[in-house]
Structure 1
Amino acid sequence: MKITGIRATPVNIPLEAPMWWTGGYYPGTSKTIVEVFTDEGLTGLGEAPSTDVVDLIGAMGEALKGKNPIDIAACERVCVPPWQIVQNTDDARVVKAFGAIEIALWDLRGKAWNEPLCNLLGGKVREKIPFTEYFSFRPDREMSAEEVADYCVSMREVHGSTFFEGKLILGDPMLEVRTVKLLRERLGDEAMIRLDSNMQWSVTTARWVLREIEPCNVRNYEDPVATFEEMAQLRQHSIVPFSTHNPDLRRAVALGVPDYFVTNFAVLGGINRAIRFIGACEAMGVGFWCYSGDAGICTAAYLHVSAATQWIKEPSQSLFRWQVGDVIEGGPFRQRENVVDVPDGPGLGVAIDQEALAHWARHYSDHGPLDHFCDPSSPGRHRRIPLH
């Protein structure tokens, strides 16, 4: 089997309503969908977490024409410089670009051998994969502690959800504390509550917030401050675990924080490098779970790797409930009673919906990438949330 071409399609995946985060408001995500074509009629599907890699994926596609897609290591050598060089440059696009292609190559391998990806990775250690519901302050939806709590209660009643994670980001630490206390009161002791600050607090404010919410049994706080060094200061004052999207394992081990990494497989360079990274985390006692906001292709990769990897014990993040579309048939995924089944088809077990792909590609073409730094009351301007 030989690669005959690669197509990279930028798409938007909007949310039903934007949510506030430290940079402004977050209306959804823009992704690059990858299709790797072969001379045997099989097509592998991949996904990059951004659209700044479209041209680079196209160039890699030209370099990979005629190559054997089953030989993933050889394909990486064609596209990616020696890793010690990659790790010492400021441009991570080459890693993301090949990481998206590499996911597609694994999908092709599973299709060629008629096996689901999790079987290629050693088999399942779990049948169903847990995910959190998301909550946040959303304009015209939930803009108070009471409305956020009402929303989470409704998710429990309608979908059986008891795992929750969210951003309580309006620049007001007292509002965050009051909302967390109300969530614990309304959801009861058994519910999981995780928080994500997107680095909005100073060490001083974060210390106060953590002290106030510690009795609420918060499972994890993602990026409460801006750096690992500031997290290390906070660790002296709080037992609440911390997580981050910055996958710097060396610093985490040296400083003793964060406790978990939360990231995207393409960011790590693909499935193979993600598995090696997770194995290194296991050896160092650092936890791992998967990112949110992806389309169905990358989510399917999360499902298979989580199914085959014992170390991924915590629920991964999820914006499934809020995503208004997807590029896969039957998407987006939706959890029920906290879990999603692992697709049982060959490879990733998902198929591209060409009509949906064209629709969301037109959305990208018409509107450009979704801007995560906007003020909805002043289009074109960045929203400045006061930091404490």
Structure 2
Amino acid sequence: MTSHAIRHVRVTPIAFRDPPLLNAAGIHEPWALRSIIEIETDSGLVGINESYGDLPMLEAMAKAAPALTGLSPWALNDMDTRVTALVTPRQTASEFQGTQISLAPGTHVSKTVAKVISAFEVAMMDLQGQLANAPVVDLLGGAARESVPFSAYLFYKYAEHIETPYAPDPWGETLAPEQLVAQARRMIDAYGFKSIKLKAGALPPEQEVAGLLALAKAFPGAPLRIDPNANWSVSTSLKAVEQLRGVLEYYEDPCPGLEGMAEVAKACEVPLATNMVVTDLKEFRRNAEMGCPVKIVLSDHHYWGGLRATQRLSLMCETFGLGLSMHSNSHLGISLTAMTHLAASVPHLSYACDTHYPWQDDEVVQGGRLKFEAGGLRVPTAPGLGVRIDPEALARLHDNYLRTDIRNRDDLAQMRKYDASFTGAQPRY
């Protein structure tokens, strides 16, 4: 009988071009870091995944990878146990708080175990699908929808990076309302998105409010969201939402902390969403104990602990009457495909998902860039994830990683190249 036990785990760090996108913490660096995970069995089957590529994550995966040797691809619970026993944070949460500004818990040391479990789980489920001749969505219970909707994800941005290591991106500068509308129109024309999200917290609030009002005028009836990434005070959050009365579908992380969000919720008719203050089930419980000031949880399987963990979150959201959608950061097709399988398997998906994918122009999967249809991605029906690695593309993106000296994302340090006085202190407004 052929053995399908795991014999090897290979993790390859990659880097790809990232535009000069502005956010509450500063500005994106010119290279985004990811890792490509390949888990090979004795029979030669290979399961794949994509995850974070910062140095602490690479070190954590390297530490845990040998524990998978000999496991069956179906032994997800054993994998969870082994990873949890081996991977411990290098810093305490309090120590980490002082080292960088975090827009999302994906960078937080407290999520290390969950991130490694997720990184291996998806690759093992890709193997399971190949063995069962079934797509991952079927392993998760089957598809509740044939296509997963995504939202246009708009950013304020500069025309090009300082000390640009490559040609400027084709999107150009976006700082004024008319430029924001042009960006949205271009993205919607290209991908067919039905809803629009604005990454805010980068410019003075009155400018960002003006931008959203311009979008509302240009795209009447389109669901609109704004995400200041906790860079506004409670008073600023309330002033802004009053100016946006009747415009917003939901209001994402306007101010810091669950207590601050609760203050805003008391005086705000628009439902509050988060990917910053409800990031695990302990925080979910705290939100519930406070009467659920956060009404929409934006999950991310990369730091929630994987596909199965997000399905458990979906059940909790349904039980407590909360909405559910999904957060994104700079990613390529393997990550986006895993997200699509997961979102398709969750009947309770309440809103179109986020994706940074239109901002990336490279790819690591065979066949090149994934194709959106009417703002959504069709759920793959091939076994496993339904995508395979392009070896030449992987080698090229790994070479990018070797050539850059970036090993940890640091939007604050990058922004100080433009403005030496920038502190990134939050809330800024």
TM-score normalised per structure 1? 0.92
Contact 1:12/1:30, CA 8 A, preserved across alignment: yes
* 5+ residue gaps, structure 2: 94-109, 160-172
SS in 2 for 1:259: strand
Equivalent residue number for residue 181 of structure 1: 213
Equivalent residue number for residue 412 of structure 2: 373
CA-atom RMSD in angstroms = 2.4
- Distance of aligned partners of 1:130 and 1:203 in 2 relative to their CA distance in 1, 3 Å threshold: same
Equivalent residue number for residue 314 of structure 1: 351
Amino acid at match of 1:242: L
Amino acid at match of 1:262: L
What is the deviation of 1:153? Answer: 2.3
Equivalent residue number for residue 264 of structure 2: 234
Question: Would you say how many aligned residue pairs link Structure 1 and Structure 2?
Answer: 383
What is the deviation of 1:308? Answer: 1.5
Which stretch shows the higher mean deviation, 200-209 or 145-154?
A: 145-154
Equivalent residue number for residue 272 of structure 1: 308
Contact 1:23/1:383, CA 8 A, preserved across alignment: no
The answer as to 2:289 corresponding to 1:254 is yes
Equivalent residue in structure 2 for 1:353, among 381, 384, 390: 390
Which stretch shows the higher mean deviation, 269-278 or 175-184?
A: 269-278
What is the deviation of 1:382? Answer: 7.9
Equivalent residue in structure 1 for 2:14, among 8, 11, 22: 11
Which stretch shows the higher mean deviation, 290-299 or 235-244?
A: 290-299
Contact 2:201/2:232, CA 8 A, preserved across alignment: no
The answer as to 2:35 corresponding to 1:32 is yes
Contact 1:133/1:161, CA 8 A, preserved across alignment: yes
What is the deviation of 1:169? Answer: 3.3
CA distance in 2 between partners of 1:260 and 1:49 (Å): 25
Equivalent residue in structure 1 for 2:130, among 83, 96, 111: 111
What is the deviation of 1:13? Answer: 3.4
The answer as to 2:244 corresponding to 1:213 is yes
* 5+ residue gaps, structure 1: none
What is the deviation of 1:302? Answer: 1.2
Amino acid at match of 2:147: K
Equivalent residue number for residue 127 of structure 1: 146
Equivalent residue number for residue 142 of structure 1: 174
CA distance in 2 between partners of 1:107 and 1:380 (Å): 45
More strand by share: 1
CA distance in 1 between partners of 2:288 and 2:345 (Å): 25
Equivalent residue number for residue 344 of structure 1: 381
Structure 1 runs of 4+ off > 6 angstroms? none
What is the deviation of 1:147? Answer: 0.5
SS in 1 for 2:20: strand
- Distance of aligned partners of 1:352 and 1:169 in 2 relative to their CA distance in 1, 3 Å threshold: same
Give me the identity figure in percent.
26
SS in 1 for 2:347: coil
CA distance in 2 between partners of 1:308 and 1:334 (Å): 20
Equivalent residue number for residue 70 of structure 2: 66
TM-score normalised per structure 2? 0.83
What is the deviation of 1:194? Answer: 1.1
SS in 2 for 1:358: helix
CA distance in 1 between partners of 2:388 and 2:366 (Å): 6
**CA deviation vs aligned residue, 1:10-43 (integer Å, no higher than 9, x gap):** 222333x221101100246322221101111111
- Distance of aligned partners of 1:158 and 1:264 in 2 relative to their CA distance in 1, 3 Å threshold: closer
- Distance of aligned partners of 1:230 and 1:59 in 2 relative to their CA distance in 1, 3 Å threshold: same
- Distance of aligned partners of 1:344 and 1:229 in 2 relative to their CA distance in 1, 3 Å threshold: same
SS in 2 for 1:106: helix
SS in 2 for 1:378: coil
SS in 2 for 1:70: coil
CA distance in 1 between partners of 2:205 and 2:419 (Å): 27
